[in-house]
Structure 1
Amino acid sequence: MNLIDGIRQGNFAVFGRAGMDMFADPPGTKAEHAETFKADLGGSSANICAGLCKLGMKSALVTSVSNDTVGRFCTNKLNGYGVDTQYIRVLDGEYRISLAVYESTMDDFQLCIYRNNAVDFQVTNEDVDRVDYSSFGALITAGTVFAAEPSRSSTFKAFENARAAGIPVIFDIDYRPYSWPSAEVAADVLSRAGEESDLIVGNDEEFGFMAGGIDKGLDKARELAAKGKFIIYKMGQEGAITLWKDEEIRTGIYPAVAVKPNGAGDSFMAGLLAGIAEGRPIKEAVQRGSACASIVVSKPGCAPSMPTTSQLDAFLATQSGPTGS
């Protein structure tokens, strides 16, 4: 199955972490001065799952969660967003689900992530072999899943399983230095993941990191595109370059009053894939992803601020178009 046909099935197996987000309330409150926090689903892959479901797609998360109240909180939230949780394994012991504490203000924004003994790194070959790949249109993963073993090897095993089932692989580079043993290991592993993927999404720093220098990022993206891969090269406020079938499509961003920077990439991925699944032209699908990112950074929380299709359409109806396109 080719990439576009796979995405158009609108049903995705997503590998990576779920976590709990705690964000200071009300918006504008610094976390260290907060008396109240709100909690919801977090974690890059879980956010992508929730974003896809809110846009009318189907998603299943493949991960591990801790056998405690926080693990059950995240599983319940995933179910509430409509995510298929049949491939989530519950682990006893001292492994813990990720916790992110942050605030809804761009004034010296602070994000504190607790990842010690992260349970999502414990996904095994047996876990990924349980997945019925033939029932999905594509596999999605975020780069954090590759930062440690056994999930690094098991996710590469999932790539093999996807290939055997004839479904494409979608990779969000999502480089988080704090998760990795060294930059050298990260560059090697993420580069391998890129080589084995069909669609790669990353920002200029992430492609530059894979290439050995930020000034080489676009060249790296073009090199991968020349091998037939679908590339989204994000440039922050300058928009994005989509490289696909010998084309370079430049798109801008939708202005937003941001209250936080996190969650934008996850929402972008959900909006992009939903747009392609709906049969929209590639440029329009990328623009819808950008609109989703703008919506998410303008509201507290990540998963709860992901737009539904009607909310996305209502937002776009108020816009004259993205800047810089």
Structure 2
Amino acid sequence: MGRIGVDLYPLRTGVPLAEADTFGKFLGGSAANVAVAAARLGRRTALISRTGADPFGAYLHSELRAFGVDDRWVEEVPALPTPLTFCEVFPPDHFPLYFYRHPKAPDLEITADSLDPAALRAARVLWTTGTGLSAEPSRTATLAALEARARTGPTVFDLDWRPALWQEDPAEHYARALRLATVAVGNTEECEVATGTAEPHAAARALLAAGADLAVVKRGPDGVLAAHRDGTTAEAAPLKVDVVNGLGAGDAFGGALCHGLLAGWDLPRILRYANAAGALVASRLACSAAMPRPDEVEEALAWPT
């Protein structure tokens, strides 16, 4: 549940937008990418979101269906344009994003009364995002979706901190979501926003104290760590890849995390698998179209760390 839009990426890396003249068009948005990532791994997925009633919105519906993502809960908001996101690609670690979500993004117009509580409860995993809390009515809808789950089954809150999309301090709203979620996921910067600390082990403990049963802290080139309320901890070392575009790596990680949770794997295996999925996407230009299939992830697991 959350953000969807059109990603427009220069087809040449190392070129600023002012000089770029050719672009690739891709389905984007963190929640949409996570749904695609899980579908690529064989899971049955659906997205709750909104687009504009325009050609870009039609494109996103077509792409979701092509990727095997159920789009029945992706509705049109006629008064608002489908969002665009441009990116500058300067490997290995500089990927500025430019969001065009004005006057307001349709995915922030999800309302609580439009939700399907029975479907939310029946889903084996629910994935929600911090951006969904950035404005009303999406904020109330996101919290309502989390409440509908009543902490039954994996209920994920992806911290998904995008400062350009917020007009206020997110701490209070993050705290409310963390009390309702069973799994919290974020990178060190996002964890600092949510907990006040970027130190990975301290951040994981703080996320557990805030309400999550499982805290996952992504550390980029330093790998990932996770801690469970039952005392279980695990870490996964990074995989060595030539980074092309790091933007979709976290979403690939998220889809693979859901896959591992559904498979009932132990925590070390889940982290290794999700880490490998993220590394693969970091080595590719696109986000949604780059999401790996199971055989690709298994092959990557044999790479040196």
Normalised to the residue count of structure 2, the TM-score between the two structures is: 0.92
SS at match of 1:222: helix
Report how far residue 78 of structure 1 moved: 0.6
Q: Which one of the candidate residues 63, 87, 91 is aligned to 1:77? A: 63
1:236 aligns with 2:220: yes
Moved more, 48-57 or 276-285: 276-285
Amino acid at match of 1:160: E
| Mapped contact 1:23–1:31 kept (Cα < 8 A) | no
User: In structure 2, what is the Cα distance between the partners aligned to 1:194 and 1:172?
Assistant: 10
User: How has the CA–CA distance of structure 1 residues 24 and 313 changed in structure 2, closer, same or farther, with 3 Å as cutoff?
Assistant: same
1:153 corresponds to: 140
| Mapped contact 1:259–1:298 kept (Cα < 8 A) | yes
SS at match of 1:62: strand
Q: How does 1:155-174 map to 2 (within 5 A)?
A: 155-163=142-150, 166-174=152-160
> What number of residue pairs does the alignment pair up?
301
User: In structure 1, what is the Cα distance between the partners aligned to 2:291 and 2:212?
Assistant: 31
| Mapped contact 2:204–2:226 kept (Cα < 8 A) | no
SS at match of 1:22: strand
| Mapped contact 1:43–1:98 kept (Cα < 8 A) | no
C-alpha deviations, 1:182-216, integer Å up to 9, x for none? 2x2x111112211211011112222222223435x
SS at match of 1:105: coil
User: In structure 1, what is the Cα distance between the partners aligned to 2:143 and 2:182?
Assistant: 14
Normalised to the residue count of structure 1, the TM-score between the two structures is: 0.87
1:191 aligns with 2:171: no
User: How has the CA–CA distance of structure 1 residues 133 and 308 changed in structure 2, closer, same or farther, with 3 Å as cutoff?
Assistant: same
1:38 corresponds to: 24
1:98 corresponds to: 83
2:294 corresponds to: 309
User: In structure 2, what is the Cα distance between the partners aligned to 1:294 and 1:131?
Assistant: 35
Amino acid at match of 1:294: A
| Mapped contact 2:159–2:194 kept (Cα < 8 A) | no
Q: Which one of the candidate residues 50, 72, 97 is aligned to 1:111? A: 97
Report how far residue 131 of structure 1 moved: 5.7
SS at match of 1:86: strand
1:201 corresponds to: 185
SS at match of 2:62: helix
Q: Which one of the candidate residues 237, 240, 258 is aligned to 1:273? A: 258
C-alpha deviations, 1:62-89, integer Å up to 9, x for none? 0111100011111111111000011111
SS at match of 2:301: helix
Identity between Structure 1 and Structure 2 (%):
29
1:179 aligns with 2:165: yes
SS at match of 1:258: coil
User: In structure 2, what is the Cα distance between the partners aligned to 1:228 and 1:38?
Assistant: 38
Moved more, 29-38 or 105-114: 105-114
User: In structure 2, what is the Cα distance between the partners aligned to 1:39 and 1:98?
Assistant: 13
Report how far residue 277 of structure 1 moved: 2.3
Moved more, 225-234 or 102-111: 102-111
Q: How does 1:134-149 map to 2 (within 5 A)?
A: 134-149=121-136
* Higher RCO (CA < 8 A, seq sep 6+): 1
1:3 corresponds to: none
What is the RMSD of the two structures over their aligned residues, measured on CA atoms? 1.9
2:36 corresponds to: 50
1:257 corresponds to: 242
Report how far residue 276 of structure 1 moved: 2.9
User: In structure 2, what is the Cα distance between the partners aligned to 1:233 and 1:203?
Assistant: 5
Amino acid at match of 1:118: A
| Mapped contact 1:128–1:155 kept (Cα < 8 A) | no
User: How has the CA–CA distance of structure 1 residues 30 and 223 changed in structure 2, closer, same or farther, with 3 Å as cutoff?
Assistant: closer
1:126 aligns with 2:109: no
Structure 2 gap segments, 5+ residues each: none
Report how far residue 142 of structure 1 moved: 1.5
